[in-house]
């Protein structure tokens, strides 16, 4: 970015700042998520990133009704508040309903708009009204240039703490692709852009009512994002991905988290030297 952008009070993104890293498991799994957050912190220790812990209390966009929705807002926010206090780390979590935004904004520092909901005006406005940073994921169906309209709905509340996240575009059935030539269109909204490396390697609906994927492709997405000047990265990670209630196939195993982030940072460092 050519300009410094304040995404949280006192925290900025820009050419001379560490990249943002939104990282954590897909879903909150009770008390074990607190232990996982501690493990993620240890893996990221010493790396030049601005880490925000991510986990979802509700998975409203599941492929089928047989898939679990999650732990729920009340218990979910309790666990996220514990992690925030214990680790002194900012929190990002999804919101699906306008009426959830105010309560979530009391705990989370970043409200995330899921890709499928990036055109939901009432949700975007309610998220903006909290004053929290709002991370809008680009819909798999949406032209990159149209993200300026999603950002504008948040802006209408006077809130300019906005992030825009690329997470792939539908390419036929069961496949997503990332069009790196669309970066200028994403930049046109005027806000930092992030790469969601793990959702970009999903294979929607390919596991008989569940979403598949290949996490080994996620490091490729991160390295490409670093080489193309993205301001930050989003990824999901877990110490036992295939036992998690959602997104197991595309989550980066915790044992590979540090090396994966280090590779992206090394590329970013070379880019910034030129």
Which pLDDT belongs to residue 2? 46
Under a CB-based contact definition with an 8 Å cutoff, are residues 248 and 241 in contact?
A: yes
CATH code at 247?
3.20.20.70
- Give CA separation, 81 vs 1, 26, 51, 104, 247, in Å: 31, 17, 16, 10, 23
Residues near 174 by beta carbon (within 8 Å), at least 6 away in sequence: 203, 204, 205, 206, 212
- Point out which residues pair with 5 in neighbouring strands: 13
Supply 241's token pair. Answer: 């991905």
Token readout for 182 is 């669309």
Q: What is the pTM of this model?
A: 0.93
Per-residue model confidence (pLDDT) at position 35 = 98
Q: What is the pLDDT of residue 13?
A: 93
Closest among 142, 158, 235 to 150, alpha carbons compared:
142
Decide: helix, strand or coil at residue 255.
helix
pLDDT lower than 70: segments of the chain: 1-3, 59-69, 205-211, 274
Residue range(s) defining the domain that contains residue 87: 5-273
Angle between helices 32-44 and 257-273 (to 10 degrees): 40
Q: How many domains, in total, are found in the chain?
A: 1
Distance from first CA to last CA of the chain, Å, rounded?
14
């Amino acid at each position: 970015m050519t300009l410094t952008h304040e995404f949280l009070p006192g925290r900025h993104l820009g050419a001379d700042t560490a990249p943002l890293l939104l990282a954590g498991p897909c879903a909150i799994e009770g008390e074990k998520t607190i232990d996982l957050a501690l493990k993620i912190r240890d893996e990221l220790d010493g790396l030049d990133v601005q880490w925000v812990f991510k986990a979802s209390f509700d998975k409203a966009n599941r492929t089928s009704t047989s898939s679990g929705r999650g732990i729920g807002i009340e218990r979910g926010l309790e666990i996220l508040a514990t992690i925030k206090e214990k680790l002194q780390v900012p929190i990002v979590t999804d919101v699906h309903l306008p009426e959830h935004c105010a309560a979530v904004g009391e705990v989370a520092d970043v409200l995330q708009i899921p890709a499928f909901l990036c055109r939901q005006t009432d949700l975007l406005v309610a998220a903006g009204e909290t004053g929290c940073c709002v991370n809008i994921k680009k819909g798999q169906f949406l032209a990159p240039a149209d993200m300026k309209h999603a950002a504008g709905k948040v802006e209408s509340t006077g809130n300019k703490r906005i992030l825009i996240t690329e997470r792939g575009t539908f390419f036929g059935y069961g496949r997503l692709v990332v069009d790196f030539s669309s970066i200028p269109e994403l930049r046109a909204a005027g806000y930092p852009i992030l790469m969601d490396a793990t959702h970009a390697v999903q294979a929607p609906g390919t596991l008989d009512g569940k979403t598949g994927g290949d996490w080994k492709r996620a490091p490729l997405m991160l390295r490409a994002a670093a080489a193309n000047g993205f301001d930050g990265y989003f990824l999901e990670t877990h110490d036992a991905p295939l036992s998690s209630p959602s997104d197991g196939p595309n989550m980066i195993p915790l044992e590979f988290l540090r090396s994966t982030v280090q590779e992206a940072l090394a590329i970013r460092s070379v880019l910034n030297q030129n």
